[in-house]
Structure 1
């Protein structure tokens, strides 16, 4: 844990401000404070990983578990159409918190026009994770 990291504080229960939607021994999911769509969540690992640039092949399973949690949260919220979701990571320098976090957004077709530019798939700023690659 990095004591100066806002997401580390949330992940370890020191910051109670965001509503924790789901958690386990490795991951925490909470609502984004500036939602881009009706359902916008962040899934973070409890382990401090600076960004997607800090990841390596050994993190593939972690990303799979992050996606799995994000999709489970959407299902719990009544989202059944998994083709209209967007999952992805911002890349530096386009991140506001230096702690790995997966954006889970639904419906993607309802992303706010004023925030749409931040979540354009496969751009320099936003790397998407395909929901079809993780069918669970």
Structure 2
């Protein structure tokens, strides 16, 4: 019975309608200044405070122009490529011997319309585009919090690249 209550509570607290965050912690550098592991003119990477593996970085644009991965369009292909390049640079610098099969990266799904003003539950907790890079992920977190097997919750950067190419072809 307690398990059922927990499941019901979880479902009841999902964001089924559009929610706009007033304050973005990724836009306030004072909240993570000591956690920055890499920075360029347009991107930065920080250590996730809730590590899901040996390393767990969040790579994001400095600008708060994108809410989530769902808002990317073909013109954002260069942004995505820059994020992927930064991922490769971090992996080369911090863990060059780790096999690619032990690296899990991608994005939590964002807001998508289900029906009129009702949306699929918003999986992301911070509405500022960010990519997770998890090295040697903990099994249970990989399986349930960062699930590549569940497209309702997760998209890899490869999937997004394919979608942007498809959008380009439709132009």
TM-score band w.r.t. shorter chain: 0.7 to 0.9
Structure 2 gaps, min length 5: 1-20, 111-121, 162-171
Q: Are residues 114 and 84 of structure 1, via their aligned partners in 2, closer, same or farther at CA, if it must alter by over 3 Å? A: closer
How far is the alpha carbon of 1:18 from its aligned partner? 4.6
Question: In the aligned structure 2, how far is the partner of 1:18 from the partner of 1:57?
Answer: 34
Unmatched runs of 5 consecutive residues or more in structure 1: none
The size of the alignment, in residue pairs, is: 125
1:86-123 Cα distance to aligned partner (Å, 9 max, x none)? 1101012000100000001112xx42424531111152
Identify, as 1 or 2, the structure richer in helix.
2
- Kindly indicate whether residue 156 of structure 2 is the aligned counterpart of residue 128 of structure 1: yes
Bigger Rg, structure 1 or 2: 2
CA distance in 2, matches of 1:114, 1:62: 27
Aligned to 1:117: 144
The two structures, once aligned, show a CA RMSD in angstroms of: 2.1
Following superposition, the deviation at residue 83 of structure 1 comes to 3.3
Secondary structure of the equivalent of 2:129? coil
- Tell me how far 1:21 sits from its aligned partner: 0.4
Query: What are the within-5 Å matches in structure 2 for residues 61-72 of structure 1?
Result: 61-72=78-89
Residue 39 of structure 1, aligned match among 35, 55, 76: 55
